[in-house]
Amino acid sequence: METTYASQAATLTTHDLLAILQTPEEYEPEAILAVIAVLEERGVQTLDLEENKQHAQAVLNAKQELEALPKTPAERLRGMLQLFIPQPGYYVTPILLNINLAIFIYMLLIGISFISPQAGQLFAIGGNYGPYTLSGQWWRLLTSTFLHAGILHLLFNMVALVSVGRQLELMIGRSTFIIAYLLCGIAGGLASIWWDGTRVGVGASGAIFGMFGLLLVLMALERKLTWAEKRAMMGNMGLIIGVNLLFGMKDGIDNAAHAGGLVVGMVQGVVLMLRSERLIAPIYSLKGNIITAIVGLVLFVTAYNLIPITGQMRYQYLMEQVAEKEIAAMQVFYEMAETDESNIDERFVPRIEAATELWSESEALLESLTEVEGKDKDHVLAMLDYVRLRKKSYELFSYDLQHGRPPMNERQEKVLWAVEGYINAIQQGRESQIVNANYRNVQELLQLHPKDHTMEVDGEAKEGMLVVIDGIKAGFTQDGALDGITADLDKDNIESTTILKGEQAKAIYGEDGANGALLITTMK
């Protein structure tokens, strides 16, 4: 039909051709394009010739797209299924689409929520979480690109992937496309943990934004297309990118990943244009693609090693390490609790000592958290006391079992009672209370020595009386005895003992002195 229009236009005079252009809406777009072609051949130039040409071409494109649309349900279904089938010019995109869908189905099969997965679940299967990603689990930068936080997240990303992939893959070729996609995805992951490494990041958004950025640069720098031809395409892509970045301002959206992928995609677009002298080449050389991939990976490895684990990210990481060590260390305690006390003997000692080492490691980790402030600092201090009390409990268990003594005794019960107090306070968020210097008094428990030592003192000691050694609260008497309280104290080193009555002791030591106080002064 185009040949017919062209032959008919060639028989008309220039005046007649120009008259047709005065009412283009009355003619088919193919006819208008044929008229313009003849006028150009004759060297006729008018002010609106180029504008008429662009309008006619746009109308023709829209007409062809409309004609290409499937008309029956069966045709629509076949057209939709074609999106998932690799084919010439559209090969890598459906493979990426199918991988993302398969992984999402796997997530559902293992019990992860269809709508809103928990952060812990996403982390467990490969989500990008700064403290762990930067501590050797670099592969999370890649795996997180194929995970999605619910069906809507997956749907939006896959629609965008197909949209950009159908255009871009045809322009730059398979290998160039997949290299660019993966580099943009990794860049998005790095940007995410650099900006806020305390959240679990997942999704293909960084990679997809990168591909939009790459396509945008190709359109902007390609030297054959006119700016008039580029304007509409670039405007549409710019609108898509802008809307998504604006949408990313909402809570829970990882805009840093979007921006990181976008920037790297645009940089790759510039590189591709330089490689092809600003012409879009469907097949770039394999050598050039390999060099691009190597340079990109070198830059990413450098960036990966430069991102520090500090602040909140370090705090969360170390607290999780402490939690993992606690779980491991508590196994022997739970086993002892389920065992009849008569069967608890020195056979438990090796495991108790191994668990004690875990408590020591946790203690060192918590002591290294010196930069925290506010509630986090209170939590660290409370956890530090808790860990030290657990460690002391295990040391007492080990010593008593090695010497044939019952594991549960007065000293152990005091320590475990204090442990329970810390557990309750931490679970209820009352760390600021328990770490208050006037409230917290665990030093006497931490200074307990495994060896038995009972000391008699002159005077009348009552049950529940506060014992103060050299001005430091050491504990309370039970049945008038000091068993365990003065384990490290040499009786011959005592200079004096003084008993304060209830009101007098209470005035000095508060409620701790309600039953009186026994003051012990040692020789200096």
Backbone Cα Rg of the chain: 38
Q: Could you tell me if 489 and 469 are in contact, meaning their C-beta atoms sit under 8 angstroms apart?
A: yes
> Is 257 a residue whose pLDDT tops 80?
yes
Same domain, 192 and 318: no
Q: Could you tell me if 222 and 279 are in contact, meaning their C-beta atoms sit under 8 angstroms apart?
A: yes
Same domain, 392 and 436: yes
Q: Could you tell me if 520 and 497 are in contact, meaning their C-beta atoms sit under 8 angstroms apart?
A: yes
78 lies in a domain?
no
| pLDDT of res. 66 | 63
| pLDDT of res. 241 | 67
CATH number of the domain that residue 140 is part of: 1.20.1540.10
235 lies in a domain?
yes
Confidence of residue 59 (pLDDT cuts 50, 70, 90): confident
**Helix, strand or coil for residue 155?**
helix
> Is 358 a residue whose pLDDT tops 90?
yes
Q: Could you tell me if 163 and 83 are in contact, meaning their C-beta atoms sit under 8 angstroms apart?
A: no
| pLDDT of res. 449 | 62
Of 56-70, 72-86, 356-370, 400-414, where does mean pLDDT reach its minimum?
56-70
Looking only at the bridges linking them, the beta strands covering 472-476 and 517-522 are unpaired
Confidence of residue 458 (pLDDT cuts 50, 70, 90): very low
Can you say how many angstroms the Cα of residue 382 is from the centroid of all Cα atoms in its chain?
Answer: 27
Same domain, 272 and 169: yes
456 lies in a domain?
no
| pLDDT of res. 99 | 97
Same domain, 400 and 476: no
189 lies in a domain?
yes
393 lies in a domain?
yes
Same domain, 330 and 387: yes
Query: How many domains does the chain contain in total?
Result: 4
Q: How far apart are CA 139 and CA 267, in angstroms?
A: 23
Percentage of residues in the chain having pLDDT higher than 90: 39
Percentage of residues in the chain having pLDDT higher than 70: 83
Same domain, 295 and 382: no
Taking only the tens place, the pLDDT of each residue in 217-234 is 988 888 777 776 677 666
Residue at a domain's end among 260, 288, 306: 306
Q: Which residue has the higher pLDDT, 358 or 492?
A: 358
Confidence of residue 447 (pLDDT cuts 50, 70, 90): low
With vertex at residue 23, the alpha carbon angle to CA 20 and CA 25, rounded to the nearest 5 degrees, is 115
Of 81-85, 230-234, 350-354, where does mean pLDDT reach its minimum?
230-234
Same domain, 267 and 336: no
Q: Which of 45-54, 175-184, 278-287 has the highest mean pLDDT?
A: 175-184
Mean pLDDT of 109-115: 93
Strand partners, 478: 481
Q: Which residue is catalytic, options 148, 258, 393, 398?
A: 258
Confidence of residue 270 (pLDDT cuts 50, 70, 90): very high
- Count other C-beta atoms under 10 Å from residue 299's C-beta: 15
Residue 258 designated active-site: yes
Look at the chain and count its residues: 524
97 lies in a domain?
yes
473 lies in a domain?
yes
| pLDDT of res. 466 | 84
| pLDDT of res. 455 | 42
| pLDDT of res. 468 | 83
Same domain, 291 and 318: no
DSSP letters, 231-253, are: HHHHHHHHHHHHHHHHHTTSTT-
Residue 205 designated active-site: yes
> Is 486 a residue whose pLDDT tops 70?
no
Share the mean pLDDT of the chain: 83
Q: Could you tell me if 300 and 267 are in contact, meaning their C-beta atoms sit under 8 angstroms apart?
A: no
Residue at a domain's end among 68, 103, 119: 68
Strand partners, 467: 475, 518
> Is 263 a residue whose pLDDT tops 90?
yes
Same domain, 342 and 423: yes
DSSP annotation of 453 reads -
Same domain, 336 and 273: no
Q: Which residue is catalytic, options 144, 148, 192, 205?
A: 205
60 lies in a domain?
yes
Same domain, 427 and 403: yes
The pTM for the full model equals: 0.66
Q: How far apart are CA 133 and CA 88, in angstroms?
A: 37
Of 61-65, 277-281, 326-330, 391-395, where does mean pLDDT reach its minimum?
61-65
| pLDDT of res. 128 | 94
Question: Containing domain of residue 376, as a range?
Answer: 311-446
Residue at a domain's end among 252, 271, 306: 306
- Count other C-beta atoms under 10 Å from residue 448's C-beta: 21
Same domain, 141 and 274: yes
Alpha-carbon torsion (425, 431, 433, 438), positive or negative: positive
